[in-house]
């Protein structure tokens, strides 16, 4: 064997073979648009999968079946969409380093913001993580995959597949796994960190990380706090729903609490967070949001809600937002909270969801008594004063109480 063939075997063929046998190799497999993989042992033709998709009352964890026309659209572990073709320097000229460009455009200088609070940045990171996460493109350098769904579905809390979702559930009373510390609920700790879990690379010896639906929660304390809030909120909602409907099964309580939690997240993101970046008037003109009390039924199955590569890599790095991407995220989501029909809420329930705010979620779950109503802006004595938590509107979960059925 000459050196050329030896080089080919060691540096080209061997890595491909090794990667194909690795547990994470499935992340790099391209989704077949004509056949969809429903499990490890069964492949179902697309037309059959569409029929089964129409029966799903609750959204899947990996985004499959959101779009009935193309069930794989917006799924986790699919390729990002692109606005323009990639430029990967195949003409042999080196592209400038992204780090160098960012430092030229945005030099690191201490700036004290007199208007926006830290929550505006941190919640933006939650939104960014919810619809984008990149895999290193080892086998196809000019195409990137996302490990999460392209939908605003709190996959950062519930996980991007059933295995993760089941792992963090109690399977009792609809609850997510937590443990009590200092009288407060916290996620369970990760007992054995693994490569790529955002914990093994960052923790100091003896430190632990949270065992949650998206391990990026362990990147910084502020992000961990946001994850903890939505985990506590899920369990708070679940306990209230079970109290109102003691005959509900664990699965029913869990899915309804998840649905409400996601709806609150979607409302906060679009009606409270994004307007401070894009401007409320601009969002109304572009029909990203509506000034309405009823349903918003503009779902379009022909809209591809797949996250844009530019959105995940560039636009969301600027205050974590991008107009076209968010418009598609809403219009292309069959399970969007403002839609009518059997997948949606009653109109009364929807109008309760519209009372949601991150400030109230903090009041309900963070053991505080006062906070400004608009948490994305700093408090001031004129337009955004600190308010007693009791004065901040709450979602009335009594509207989810099912009437008792009379025995026939």
Binding site as annotated, residues? 320
**How many Å apart are CA 180 and CA 267, to the nearest integer?**
29
| Look-up of token digits 């996302």 | 146
Which has the closest alpha carbon to 333: 279, 297, 283, 282? 297
Cite the annotated binding site for heme b by residue number. 320
- State the Cα angle at 62 between 171 and 343, rounded to 5°: 75
Cα diameter, the chain: 85
Which has the closest alpha carbon to 148: 163, 166, 138, 135? 135
Which residues are tagged catalytic?
129
Enumerate the H helices of 63-181 as residue ranges. 98-105, 118-131, 155-158, 162-167
DSSP letter for each residue of 300-313:
-TTS--PPBHHHHH
| Torsion, Cα of 26, 29, 31, 37 (10° steps) | -40
DSSP letter for each residue of 341-363:
STTS--HHHHHHHTT--HHHHHH
Residues with Cβ within 8 Å of residue 23, at least 6 apart in sequence: none
For the chain, the first-to-last Cα distance in angstroms comes to 83
**How many Å apart are CA 18 and CA 86, to the nearest integer?**
27
**How many Å apart are CA 130 and CA 151, to the nearest integer?**
7
Classify 269 as helix, strand or coil: helix
Structure tokens at 230: 């939505």
């Amino acid at each position: 064997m000459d050196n050329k063939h030896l080089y080919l075997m060691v540096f080209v063929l061997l890595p491909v073979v090794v990667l194909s046998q690795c547990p994470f190799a499935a992340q790099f497999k391209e989704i077949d648009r004509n056949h969809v993989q429903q499990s490890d042992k069964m492949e179902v033709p697309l037309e059959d999968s569409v029929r089964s998709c129409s029966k799903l009352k609750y959204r899947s964890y990996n985004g499959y079946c959101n779009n009935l026309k193309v069930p794989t659209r917006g799924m986790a572990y699919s390729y990002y969409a692109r606005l323009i073709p990639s430029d990967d320097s195949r003409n042999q000229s080196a592209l400038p380093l992204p780090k160098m460009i960012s430092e030229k455009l945005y030099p690191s200088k201490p700036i004290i913001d007199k208007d926006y609070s830290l929550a505006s940045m941190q919640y933006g990171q939650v939104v960014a993580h919810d619809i984008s996460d990149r895999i290193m493109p080892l086998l196809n350098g000019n195409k990137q995959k996302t490990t999460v769904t392209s939908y605003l579905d709190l996959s950062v809390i519930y996980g991007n597949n059933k295995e993760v979702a089941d792992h963090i559930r109690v399977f009792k009373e609809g609850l997510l796994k937590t443990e009590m510390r200092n009288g407060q609920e916290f996620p369970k700790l990760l007992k054995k960190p693994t490569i790529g879990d955002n914990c093994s690379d960052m923790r100091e010896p003896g430190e632990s990380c949270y065992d949650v639906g998206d391990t990026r929660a362990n990147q910084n304390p502020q992000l961990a706090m946001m994850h903890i809030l939505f985990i506590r909120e899920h369990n708070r909602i679940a306990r209230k729903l079970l109290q109102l409907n003691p005959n509900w099964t664990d699965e029913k309580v869990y899915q309804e609490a998840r649905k409400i939690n996601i709806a609150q997240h979607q409302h906060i993101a679009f009606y409270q967070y994004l307007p401070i970046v894009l401007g409320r008037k601009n969002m109304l003109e572009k029909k990203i949001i509506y000034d309405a009390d009823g349903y918003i039924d503009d779902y379009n199955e022909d809209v591809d809600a797949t996250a844009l590569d530019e959105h995940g890599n560039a636009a969301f790095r600027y205050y974590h937002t991008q107009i076209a991407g968010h418009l598609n995220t809403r219009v292309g989501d069959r399970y969007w909270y403002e839609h009518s029909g059997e997948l949606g809420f009653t109109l009364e329930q929807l109008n309760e969801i519209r009372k949601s705010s991150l400030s109230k979620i903090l009041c309900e779950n963070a053991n505080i008594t006062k906070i400004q109503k608009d948490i994305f802006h700093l408090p001031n004595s004129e337009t955004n004063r600190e308010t007693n938590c009791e004065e901040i509107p709450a979602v009335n979960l009594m509207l989810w109480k099912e009437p008792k059925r009379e025995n026939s």
